[in-house]
Structure 1
Amino acid sequence: MVALAVVVPLLAPLPASVRYLPLVASVAIFGLPHGALDYVALPRALSGRVDARGLAIVGVLYAVLGGAYLVAWVVVPVPAAVGFIALTWFHWGQGELFVLRDAFGGSHLEDRTQQALTMVVRGGLPMAVPLVGFPDRYRAVLETFVEPFGGSIGSAWLFEPGGRVAVAVGFGLVTVLTLWRGWRLADGQADGAGWRLDATETALLWAFFLLVEPVLAVGIYFCLWHSLRHIVRVGLLDRRTASSLSAGEWLKPAGRLAVEALPTTVAAGGLLWALYVVTPASEGLAGAIGVYLVGIAVLTLPHVVIVTWIDLKQEFW
């Protein structure tokens, strides 16, 4: 699917229904459900079990932070949209650290500075690189975020040729610096496979987000990369799941995670539908997806706080 996403758009423009398909699918396939597991993930990280205290903490975080961010979208939509880009940049970067360090043995990421640099690069790949390759598409998506609330992105320097060159050169240099520093940290260690995987993934993601239309690329990445990796991570917080996976059994723990995610996925879907109903979005699929992503933004803020809390428990930062 990823190979087709790269090749097909180079041969012919894709219709909107195809470009938006992964984001539409994310409602049920990995995307929305990965955050729906927060109510079991945080309690397990804090105490090893799902208890009333952990559930209450998650509920309060979502009510307070999500509610405040929704108000921000209504009152100051453009800063809220910029904040969403920055928040996603941070979160998608932090989501890579556990996989690279703990799952794939990237010992170069035991260094705190390298963790921060890697987070900047990995989070920036889906957030910054599409701006270089598809500035008009990038701006159009941002417009669908803010237009329902009376905002407008307008013409910004970042979308001009000079801005795109600055982003490409600046982010490219940060990428090279990060990989070089990681190589130096891994040099001389018994196993440098973790760094080689990091470098290979980074190069492939650079090409992917530079060549594939942004909505399609981000939708695929959200479902099949970020969300799937996060689900595996939080699944391992459950001793039963960890034990099953270590024994080579994956079907039963996958079913258990799906059952746990179902009620909160349905609840989140209901909130997103209510937001769509009451928001004066533009007609068409793009307008609907814009409102959907605003809803995702509202849910993302408390989600990021919870994941950061889990990071601290697992001795990141």
Structure 2
Amino acid sequence: MKRKRKRFYEFDFTYRLSKLVGSNWAYGVDIEISDSRSASLTLPEHVTTMQLARIEHQHSAGVTAASLAVAAASVFGFDASSKWTLALIVVATAVIGVPHGGLDHWSGRDLLQDRIGAWWVPTFFGVYLIVALSVASGWLMAPIFTAVGFFLISAWHFGMEDEDELSDLPYWSRHLVAVAVGGLVIWVPSVAQSERMSELLQLTVPSQMLSVADIMSVTQMLASILLPIAVVAIGRQMRTGSRTAALRNLALVILFAVADPLISFALYFCGWHSVRGLRSLAVKHRKTAIDLALATAPMTLGAIAFASIGWYVAATSSEVPAATIRTLFISLSAIAVPHLLLHGPIAKSLNHLRGSSAQTLELAR
């Protein structure tokens, strides 16, 4: 039994490394999957395949335990005040969330430099800024469309983290399941904690655009469709051997249902998604944790300074100003969308073109 369990452990997590290091072979990480039960992997010198698998397993188990602990604390009366919740989110985002998205220029360089040379710098940062400003403007001009669109693309991005588990599904089913499971952090609170979620949306939507009820209505309609799909997908994870992922998702559902949405989002985004993203960056670019910390130090320090200001405002005010939370959320969403697009459709499209070009060149030879 012990040997069988060990073999399952090695299969489950070694196979799932194909997503952990990403599907972008241009980053210098080579993976060749010969069948559904094996994978050969070339990793940086500072980490081995099984070490990475063990880290992934421990991280997933830790998030599962933390989710259940926070959920239990919420059920038994733990109630964080709004100012402490805001401080927690800002600090966690500054220390973990910003580095997770603060190295997008590495990905942009890998995708564009071979094509347009030095022009990749103005092209990447120009497009990135245009998308960010468009999202920020969208919150002011079309809050319903912007909110729902942001929810959907975020859900898809979160769900496609486990793309390897969906590879045997038809194309559209794969993306639908990704939106359903990846969006649990949105769909569950919209149903289980609709009043609290409405309060948070009221803080993020500009006061002159009273559309919170409409946003909630559309979100709950989407949740009624996507939550049953997520339940089926989690059951499928249990049946196909991805039990660690299934247990983690079940724990997250409990967390999202009973804990304050701000706390549950901070735990999920910073504790799971961002840490996993940083680990993927380290593997793709052959960097150590110290390398990543040094590379993101300017942005992290700036975010910490912003967090300190937010902490001071929260500590010296009886209530956190609505404008503070609104500005924070809109700013985060504005820089999040280009990140989501870069690591989703843009990277996939450019890599597909690169692969097609390489194949054409090989045939020409």
TM range (shorter): 0.7 to 0.9
1:292 maps to 2:328: yes
**Which residue identity lines up with residue 167 of structure 2 in the other structure?**
L
Q: 1:116 corresponds to which residue? A: 175
Mind listing any 5+ residue stretches in structure 1 that lack a counterpart?
A: 242-252, 274-282
1:40 maps to 2:76: no
| RMSD after superposition | 3.5
1:207 maps to 2:254: yes
Paired with 1:268 and 1:303, the residues of 2 have a C-alpha distance of 17
- Residue 305 of structure 1, aligned match among 322, 338, 341: 341
Please tell me whether the aligned partners of residues 78 and 151 of structure 1 are also in contact (alpha carbons under 8 angstroms).
no
1:256 maps to 2:291: yes
**Which residue identity lines up with residue 302 of structure 1 in the other structure?**
P
Paired with 2:144 and 2:222, the residues of 1 have a C-alpha distance of 20
Please tell me whether the aligned partners of residues 272 and 292 of structure 1 are also in contact (alpha carbons under 8 angstroms).
no
Shift of 1:25: 1.6
Q: Report matched runs for 1:79-228 at 5 Å.
A: 79-94=145-160, 96-97=161-162, 101=164, 106=165, 109-111=167-169, 112-113=171-172, 115-147=174-206, 150-156=208-214, 158=216, 170-179=225-234, 192-193=240-241, 195-228=242-275
Classify 1:7/1:178 alpha carbon distance in 2 versus 1 (closer, same or farther; 3 Å): closer
Shift of 1:137: 0.8
Pick the structure with greater CA Rg: 2
Shift of 1:34: 1.0
Normalised to the residue count of structure 1, the TM-score between the two structures is 0.73
**Which residue identity lines up with residue 128 of structure 2 in the other structure?**
Y
Classify 1:74/1:172 alpha carbon distance in 2 versus 1 (closer, same or farther; 3 Å): closer
Please tell me whether the aligned partners of residues 151 and 183 of structure 2 are also in contact (alpha carbons under 8 angstroms).
no
Percentage of pairs with the same residue: 21
- Residue 31 of structure 1, aligned match among 97, 103, 112: 97
Mind listing any 5+ residue stretches in structure 2 that lack a counterpart?
A: 1-65, 309-318, 353-365
**Which residue identity lines up with residue 228 of structure 2 in the other structure?**
L
Describe the superposition over 1:107-161 as per-residue Cα deviations: whole angstroms up to 9, x where unpaired: x53443453133122222001101121111101111111135x22235349569x
Shift of 1:285: 5.5
Please tell me whether the aligned partners of residues 19 and 216 of structure 1 are also in contact (alpha carbons under 8 angstroms).
yes
Normalised to the residue count of structure 2, the TM-score between the two structures is 0.64
Classify 1:43/1:270 alpha carbon distance in 2 versus 1 (closer, same or farther; 3 Å): farther
Paired with 2:84 and 2:302, the residues of 1 have a C-alpha distance of 27
